[in-house]
Amino acid sequence: MEAAGLEWLLGPAQQLVSWGAAGAMVFGGVVPYVPQYRDIRRTQNAEGFSTYVCLVLLVANILRILFWFGRHFESPLLWQSIIMIITMLLMLKLCTEVRVSNELNIKRRSFAAADSKDEEIKAPPKRSYLDFDLNYFWHWSKFTDYVQCVLTFTGVTGYITYLWLDSSLFVETLGFLAVFTEAMLGVPQLYRNYQNRSTEGMSVKMVLMWTSGDTFKTVYFILNQAPFQFSICGLLQVFVDIAILLQVYLYSQYPQKPASHTAHPASTKAL
């Protein structure tokens, strides 16, 4: 009787733990960006956050979703990628609106050419479909340009994946690229801080959450003997997170130049 009663209690408890772990897996990845989003909205200053972080996560999660079609992994990881893509698009929308509202240079920069009704009056009457300039890649003036770029990347990679879906080598390579791209998550922010010689405007809470999450994930990979590329990429993420935290300490103790809060065209180009 006691064993039956104990089993009756353990069953629902295990189910609750399973649901909690799945929920943490799905939504845990977006939690670090909540304080950064709130800081940008409150200060109306996006200069401290690198939008290339959004680019890295968009690419990584799009590739992970395509990898799922070749090798079905756990559903929470799939939903995590979907939620992360939505979150990064929201971050891009806010950063673009804040940056454009603060900049003095109103020249339109776009991924796709504007039509005759475009607000840039001085634009030439005839423009090619792709108004693409590598100097301003991912520095566009409208959120719709980022959406068009993401859709183009998804369409091209999706078509290639459809053609090579029967190749196990391609599928495994696709999965590795997804994991490795995600491992590069902190590099844009690391470089951004180095350029500014400051971490002002960057949410330290976000980086601390990155570090704790990446450390937990890497330990999990090692203890569960996951494929070696998962462990290597996890360790790389942790090292980058620690490097960013070292920047926070160094630039606060030994400031190399005052952070600028004045909106100017250069700040737009840096983003």
How large a percentage of the chain has pLDDT more than 70? 72
Residue linked to tokens 């004045």 = 262
Instruction: Please report the pLDDT score of residue 108 as a whole number.
Output: 62
pLDDT of residue 93: 95
The answer for residues whose C-beta is within 8 angstroms of residue 73's C-beta and 6 or more apart is 67
**Domains of the chain by residue range:** 10-105+138-253
Residue 141 has pLDDT above 80, yes or no: yes
Q: Looking at residues 9-29, what average pLDDT do you find? A: 69
What pLDDT does 146 receive? Answer: 95
* pLDDT band, very low/low/confident/very high, at 255 (cuts 50, 70, 90): confident
Q: List alpha helices for the chain, DSSP H.
A: 2-27, 33-43, 52-70, 75-102, 143-164, 168-183, 187-196, 204-223, 228-253, 265-270
- Mean pLDDT of all residues in 195-218: 82
Residues 6+ apart with CB under 8 A from 5: none
- Three-class DSSP labels, 179-210: HHHHHCCCHHHHHHHHHHCCCCCCCHHHHHHH
Tell whether pTM > 0.85. no
First CA to last CA distance, the chain: 66
Return the pLDDT at 118.
46
| Mean pLDDT of the 53-77 span | 87
The 10 Å Cβ neighbour count of residue 2 is: 6
CA 78 to each of CA 28, 34, 67, 71: distance values in angstroms, whole numbers, following the listed order:
13, 21, 10, 11
